[in-house]
Amino acid sequence: MLTGDSLWGKWIKERLLKGKSFWEVKVKTHMGSWMWRKMLKLRGVAKSFYMKELGNGRHTSFWFDKWSEKGVLSDLLGERGIIDLGVAKNATVEEALLVTSRRRSHRRGLLNDLEKELSTVASNLNVVNEDISLWKGKSRYR
């Protein structure tokens, strides 16, 4: 469902997510079935077991997927982080790295650390590799 590879995943992306990340859709919705609403309520549990391994960064939400060593950036930085970094709320990792008007120096040390990580990520992105969804097993992500 999160990768959108299956017919069901594509339907969810088109009809229920409507361009948003699964992690940012409001819990109080009238869209979808009772099962969909239950899944939304259990996101907090799922979030601790899910992460993305970056390939090209095209299918990974900059703010809502866990791809950074620091964790999910929207949880870490909140709405103010979106403003401070100058990266759109719906941006992918690839899109965030392409923003040339983004500030690179910040007052907050955490934002400067993130900028360093972003420069490393930018040099490691591979345009031919797809992003990979990983789920945590007993001891590691697979």
pLDDT tens digits, residue range 74-125? 999 999 888 888 899 999 999 999 887 776 788 888 999 999 999 999 999 9
**Least confident range of 49-53, 62-66, 102-106, 131-135:** 102-106
Q: Give the global pTM.
A: 0.82
Same domain, 57 and 80: yes
pLDDT of residue 55: 95
Same domain, 58 and 112: yes
Same domain, 129 and 103: yes
Question: Token digits for 66?
Answer: 């866990």
Report the domain count for the chain. Answer: 2
Please report which confidence band the pLDDT of residue 53 belongs to, taking 50, 70 and 90 as the band edges: very high
pLDDT of residue 18: 85
Could you list the beta-strand ranges (E) of the chain.
50-53, 132-135
Domain that holds residue 9: 1-47
